[in-house]
Chain A
């Protein structure tokens, strides 16, 4: 976008404008996403507990409940405990929020020749995992500077938990990187183009297991129930945010929902095909860049909707889990990580490596679409007949 604009205006202005547009879009994703998710969480919780949830504010389904909550939070007094470390106490929510927002910068929302991504990083997966791990820093600062033992306990638990769960999370995220052969999220997403059996979830049995381990670890690393030990209200009042009120408190929740969305989007790109849907609608309709930039743009828009839908689905599953399972004890949380998640992830990593080594492009799940295209374009491959072209490509492992 910056290159496009700099044809018409000053270069610095073009870059600034492009940056502002990207930031505004992503901030809206986080903020409006949080608004929607809080409403959704209440509805999901209500339905699971056999009640209605919010029904009054803003029509039949209580759409505007979160907005009303937000207004209430803005009018609340911004309290700070007497003995608190003022500077750290005030800055902690922003640290959390910045980390969760910075992770979304490198997330692509559509691929192809013109990917929808604010900052196309060659090492996207790695960057996102590194930055998401920093969110806990705000929590620790908050817990420490509140001068309250509940906050400190919550922060310490969170630190132990997040540092432990980074290990299996990294091991799981490495598996799609291994199969795609790159850490670039745009390429990982595009490597799963086509119908749903091209997704890495169905690549081999090991990736299928790894996905569930990833999801467990992601739930734990964004500090959601049943792993929300840091705010265990039955024992720690409210954990690390006990002393917070008003808008600062809500910043922690924006950060939490933001990183929930970030890990769900990452899961959908790594395992669920990203912007490539269960059915390749954009391709069937001809919405690709081969048919001109406008059609390609619409195709990307469709992909963007697709990946966001998958992300929202992931977040909804996290909510479902939260209201279904009871909270674990801290020793159980660490046991789950070190005795189950890490060995399973490590074994599946080795298994996926072995599978990739033996059958580099899968054994039975050949893409019919690729076969179809090959049959259409067989003269280009130099084979004698269409069947020969398919056989040759299969031999080379191209499809």
Chain B
């Protein structure tokens, strides 16, 4: 049975192809809602990659935050830019060059990083099948509360977690402050 197809690899290529194809589609499309739709498919395929890697918590997080977040982005995109019935975005020639330059630099840097780190080389099949599937949610939570189970000195991310939480709280309060009614409403609700 060892010569048979290794299905995780097949699904990896499938999800990766979907993610890349729809990523390209986002760039090539000029209609803002279609762009958002392609972006959602691309991000969902990335979530599929996370699930495939056994990181189910991160995968669900990807679905909730990125795919759900694109939804809000879409609403704002439609609400704030809608002049015509269907919004379309045209890109100028200079913008295209700058974007290609920046994107190309980032891509080459990421590819270089991915190939050059020795720990990130793929395992061979026998050792890949031997890796046990472990739940990830509890170690993640412990890590954020300052007790990493995998680190010998138990150093966690409590401070960063608290800073981010307070930051988010400030943002929420600020949003509530900006959105509040300026004067008393005349009619009773």
Q: Do A and B come from one complex?
A: yes
Which residue numbers of A lie inside 8 Å of B, CB to CB?
Answer: 10-12, 15, 83, 85, 87-88, 91, 121-123, 126-127, 129-131, 133-134, 136-137, 140-141, 144-145, 147, 156, 159-160, 163, 166, 183, 331-332, 335
Q: Residue of B at shortest CB range from A145?
A: B33
Q: Would you list which residues of chain B between 1 and 20 have a CB under 8 Å from chain A?
A: 1, 4-5, 7
Cβ < 8 Å to A, chain B residues 34-60: 34, 37, 40, 56-57, 60
Check B33–A141 contact: CB distance below 8 A. Answer: yes
Interface centre among B33, B60, B68, B86 (most CB of A within 10 A): B60
Across the A-B interface, give the 4 residue pairs with the lowest CB-CB distance, nearest first: A130-B64, A122-B135, A130-B63, A127-B60
B37, B60, B68: the one within 8 Å of A126 (CB): B60
Size bracket, chain B contacts: 20 to 34
Contact B71 A12 (CB under 8 A): no
Contacts of B74 in A (CB 8 A): 140
Q: Tell which of B68, B86, B137 touches A183, judged by Cβ atoms closer than 8 Å.
A: B137
The B contact surface, by secondary structure, is helix
Find out whether the CB atom of A123 lies under 8 angstroms from the CB atom of B189: no
How far apart sit A131 and B56, CA to CA, in the bound complex (Å)? 13
CB nearest neighbor in B for A163: B72
| Complex-state Cα separation, A160 to B5, whole angstroms | 46
Contact B4 A130 (CB under 8 A): no
Cβ of B75 < 8 Å from any Cβ of A? yes
Q: Please tell me if B78 contacts chain A, counting CB pairs below 8 Å.
A: yes
Closest B residue by C-beta to A147: B85
Listed in ascending order, the chain B residues whose CB lies under 8 Å from chain A are 1, 4-5, 7, 31, 33-34, 37, 40, 56-57, 60-61, 63-64, 67-68, 71-72, 74-75, 78-79, 85-86, 135-137, 189
Measured between alpha carbons, how far is A306 from B78 in the docked complex, in Å? 45
Residues of A within 8 A of B189 (CB): 331-332, 335
Instruction: For A148, give the chain B residue with the smallest CB separation.
Output: B85
> What residue of chain B has the Cβ atom nearest to residue A152's Cβ?
B78
Look across to chain A and name the residue whose beta carbon is closest to the beta carbon of B58. Answer: A123
A91–B137 alpha-carbon span in the complex (Å): 34
Interface contact B57-A126, CB-CB below 8 Å: yes
User: Contacts A12-B4, A85-B86 given; 6 further ones with Cβ under 8 A?
Assistant: A12-B5, A88-B34, A123-B57, A123-B60, A133-B64, A166-B68
With both beta carbons as reference points, the residue of chain A lying nearest to B40 in the complex is identified as A137
26 contacts between A and B (CB under 8 A): A11-B4, A85-B31, A85-B33, A85-B34, A87-B34, A121-B56, A122-B136, A123-B56, A126-B60, A126-B137, A129-B64, A130-B61, A130-B63, A133-B64, A134-B68, A134-B71, A136-B71, A137-B71, A140-B74, A144-B33, A145-B33, A156-B75, A160-B75, A183-B137, A331-B189, A332-B189
